[in-house]
Amino acid sequence: MEIIKIIGIGFITLIITIILKQYRSEFAFMAVLIGGAIILFLSMDTLVGIIEFIKSLNNRYNSAFISVLLKITGISILTEYAVSICKDSGESSIANKIDLRGKNYCHFFVHSCDFDST
């Protein structure tokens, strides 16, 4: 199962980060970034599948709705990844601001579309 690999990589990254923080704390952040990038890369197949499913719904539902749904999904994933990186590096105030802006951006997309016109 794919999730077992991702959990394993997460735990390995966690152990490496804990060890690096004791001896070379400047490399611990790089380990978190590399581990996160590997997990994100392994998750791409699933994310592509979800996006393809949403695109297939385009034939049955309003295309403006599907477009907004795809944009919000992408913004949410990128925002959550950035927030996690900031929190891991100890910058929770920056993480909170990124999170708030991501939510505002999604809210903007929903209210800027006219779903009834198409």
36-73 pLDDT, tens digit per residue, is 889 888 888 887 887 788 777 777 776 777 777 778 88
* pLDDT for position 81: 84
More confident residue, 47 or 76: 76
Query: What's the average model confidence in pLDDT over 17-23?
Result: 89
More confident residue, 70 or 4: 4
Does pLDDT of 118 surpass 60?
Answer: no
**Residues 6 or more apart in contact with residue 87 via CB below 8 angstroms:** 95
Do 64 and 114 touch, CB atoms closer than 8 A? yes
* pLDDT for position 66: 74
pTM of the model: 0.59
Contacts 24+ apart (CB under 8 A), 92-95: none
Query: What's the average model confidence in pLDDT over 69-98?
Result: 85
When the pLDDT of each residue in the chain is averaged and rounded to a whole number, the result is: 82
Distance from C-alpha of 44 to C-alpha of 77, rounded to nearest angstrom:
11
